[in-house]
Amino acid sequence: IPQGINGQINLPDIKGGQASLEVMDLFGRIVFSIPLVQSTSGHRIQLPILPAGMYVAKFIHEGTISSLKFIQQ
């Protein structure tokens, strides 16, 4: 079940390589994208104000993709 995220996404440490975060709406349109830099304390990303609905956040690091569905209220 998708969860509300209160406008923030917490990401793990990034050790080397390139990383980015993309947020897409249900039509596959990228509504937010940000490159990420190395960090040993993780990242807390503040999302822009998005219209209410369901979204998919994709964390991309060194060719590995992790995704999270969430509801913006």
CB 12 within 8 A of CB 66: no
Measure the CA dihedral 59/10/7/60, to 10°.
-10
pLDDT digits (tens, 9 = 90+) for 16-64: 778 899 999 999 999 999 998 877 677 788 888 889 899 999 999 888 8
Grade residue 4 by pLDDT with cuts at 50, 70 and 90: low
Report the C-alpha gap between 16 and 64 in whole angstroms: 13
**DSSP code of residue 63:** T
Grade residue 71 by pLDDT with cuts at 50, 70 and 90: confident
pTM of the model: 0.81
Grade residue 14 by pLDDT with cuts at 50, 70 and 90: confident
